[in-house]
Amino acid sequence: MSQWQPVGSPVEVNKHEYRRRRLPGLFAGLVLILLGVLLLFQTQGWFTWDDWWKYLLLGLGVIFIIDAMVRLAQPAPGPRWGGRLVVGLTLLLVGLISAAGFGQWWPLILVIVGVAVIVRRVVK
């Protein structure tokens, strides 16, 4: 006798159907937008080439977080959304610390750890 599974459960949804329901090209499109914005800002003189990597990390962190939230918002959240969220928060944190200086942003580490603990508990 098989166990009962609710409709739309991760067991019922195969990988092909999950990928079809997700927004295809979201991650790649957001990365292209980020690169375009960074190049535009650099040509306008808003930052130098020495600082571009800080803003790249910030942008990639935001993109990973958006991707994780899109995955989580699906009727049957697919695999690896939690990993993408952790990677996104880490990149965002490193970018913020690098761009603004550690002395001003160290309390953000406590905020991010607190959010991670809450998200982990809510998802379980």
pLDDT at 82: 77
pTM of the model: 0.64
Asked whether residue 10 is domain-assigned, the answer is no
At CB < 8 A and 24+ separation, what contacts does 18-22 make?
18/74, 18/76, 18/78, 21/74, 21/75, 22/70, 22/71, 22/74, 22/78
How confident is the chain (124 residues) per 10-residue block, as mean pLDDT?
Answer: 50 53 78 93 86 87 89 73 82 81 68 81 74
Asked whether residue 96 is domain-assigned, the answer is yes
Quote the domain boundaries for residue 20: 15-123
pLDDT at 39: 92
pLDDT at 59: 92
Asked whether residue 61 is domain-assigned, the answer is yes
Work out how many domains the chain is built from and give that number.
1
Asked whether residue 29 is domain-assigned, the answer is yes
| Pair of tokens at residue 58 | 């910030």
| Closest to 81 in 3D by CA, of 96, 91, 95, 71 | 71
